Amino acid sequence: AHLDRIGAVDGDVHAFLHVDTEGALAQAKAVDGKRAAGEQLSPLAGVPLALKDVLTQEGVPTTAGSKILEGWKPPYDSTVVKRLKAAGIVILGKTNMDEFAMGSSTENSAYGTTHNPWDLGRIPGGSGGGSSAAISAYEAPLAIGTDTGGSIRQPGAFTGTVGVKPTYGGTSRYGLIALASSLDTPGPCARTTLDAALLHEAIAGYDPMDSTSINQPVPAVVEAARNGDVSGLRIGVVKELGGEGYQPGVEARFHEAVELLTKLGAEVVEVSCPHFEYALPAYYLILPSEASSNLAKFDAMRYGLRVGDDGTNSAETVTSLTREAGFGAEVKRRIILGTHALSSGYYDAYYGQAQKVRTLIARDFAKAYEQVDVLVSPATPTTAFAIGDRIDDPIAMYKNDLCTIPSNLAGNAAASFPCGLADEDGLPVGFHVMAPVMRDDLLYKVGAALE
């Protein structure tokens, strides 16, 4: 049924880069066989899922939205994919994304923009716009995204779906094509809080293949999603994430949701996180620095595209021609920024300073969590904007990430839950919840209460 649905609507939505019809049907049949044989199956066995094209799946084309990886078929499964398969989850195909997960709209994909199912003239968010659009358009009930600066939560908000960034290290990065290794976090996208929790549980947990994986039990996310009792929960509204620059309809739905939580017995206070205003500039130094280093491996020798290999050009020339042809404008912009920020003489002034700001932001969180259990804000300052609106203005595009980035810098858990539609444009608004490291369960409690 989901493959049929993809056939019917994906021409308009363009959520998928690759639909693995044969593979999906084979996986589904295998689950049927096990069920018929009376085997004990996981709760999500047989449920279809859309996979962001930044995670490797053995033998299935994986591009990370880039021309430089066109035609590459990974020889191994990422840990996330291994766990999906072990749970009997059926992988329908790979979803569209901004190239190497750099962007907030999917307009940076080398393979065309994904359209927001709520309004095809609008972007679905990014970088994981394909994953969120796929579930919003009923092409899949579940999806996997990755969140480095908001790429699960912001598309979730823009498409009226649930998007969860687990605690950094709570889900494995093994087999995830790296953007910024100290920030990248795979996580679940779904239409309901409980669906997201079930998927979270299926993919999370310690992985010795990832050096920053946390060796602790997975937080009790499913239990929290089933329970949703917020009475006595202390909720802090972040003063710095609201007001000027925020769309009135976004603020209205956000405040209504806060009121609802108060009615349900939560204790709500205002909390100040004074360094959050520096999160965006710090992120846009740290991320390009790490990205420029991670992307150095695309040298035309190891993966995908190779340009100018005619027997006369040197290896250096082939690398250079391939990178020139294979990377898009945003990727080049960030490689240049990152290389500059890391270069000798500038390292302390840029990268070093940004790392200090990162520490200050983590301290803001730590201080806030002395007073409250979770922090909340709108997920994004506005609803989904029109395709083409911000593509020529990188700074306007970066501002999308105002609310989501602090949690990436601090490594804590955060999520966006649907909280209604803005009056001005009838588009979905996301309610953003931030919880301490390894307290991912608290996110689901709030999400369930809001449903």
Residues lying near ligand GLN in the complex (CB under 6 A)? 101-104, 127, 147-151, 179, 287, 401
The nearest distance, CB 295 to ligand GLN, in angstroms, is 13
Query: Reduced to 3 DSSP states, what percent helix, strand and coil does the chain have, rounded to the nearest 5?
Result: 40, 15, 40
d(CA 246, CA 60): 41
Q: Which is nearer to ligand GLN, 104 or 172 (CB)?
A: 104
Q: Are strands 90-95 and 267-271 parallel, antiparallel or unpaired?
A: unpaired
Residue entry with tokens 């021409």 = 11
d(CA 156, CA 383): 11
CB 112 within 8 A of CB 11: no
Q: Which is nearer to ligand GLN, 57 or 400 (CB)?
A: 400
The nearest distance, CB 280 to ligand GLN, in angstroms, is 10
d(CA 359, CA 435): 17
Strand order in the sheet with 142-147: 16-19, 90-95, 48-52, 142-147, 185-190, 162-165, 413-421, 428-435, 374-378, 234-238, 267-271
Q: Which residue is nearest to ligand GLN, using beta carbons?
A: 151
d(CA 91, CA 68): 24
Question: What are the catalytic residues?
Answer: 52, 127, 151
Q: Which is nearer to ligand GLN, 46 or 150 (CB)?
A: 150
DSSP 271: E
Residues 6+ apart with CB under 8 A from 345: none
Beta bridge partners of 431: 378, 417
Q: Which is nearer to ligand GLN, 27 or 172 (CB)?
A: 172
The nearest distance, CB 147 to ligand GLN, in angstroms, is 5
Q: Which is nearer to ligand GLN, 201 or 401 (CB)?
A: 401
The nearest distance, CB 341 to ligand GLN, in angstroms, is 15
Buried/exposed 93-105: b ≥16 CB within 10 Å, e otherwise: bbbbbbbbbbbbb
Bond into 127 cis (ω within 30): yes
Q: Which is nearer to ligand GLN, 199 or 403 (CB)?
A: 403
Work out the widest C-alpha separation in the chain, in whole angstroms: 73
Cα angle 167, 411, 390 (rounded to 5 degrees) comes to 105
The nearest distance, CB 441 to ligand GLN, in angstroms, is 23
Distances (CA, A) of 161 to 102, 164, 371: 21, 10, 29
The nearest distance, CB 291 to ligand GLN, in angstroms, is 9
Q: Residue 303 — φ and ψ, nearest 5°?
A: -135, 150
Q: Which is nearer to ligand GLN, 364 or 401 (CB)?
A: 401
The radius of gyration of the chain from alpha carbons, rounded to an integer in Å, stands at: 21
The nearest distance, CB 232 to ligand GLN, in angstroms, is 33
The nearest distance, CB 156 to ligand GLN, in angstroms, is 12
Cα angle 3, 385, 252 (rounded to 5 degrees) comes to 105
Q: Which is nearer to ligand GLN, 319 or 408 (CB)?
A: 408
Q: How far is CA 274 from the centre of its chain?
A: 25
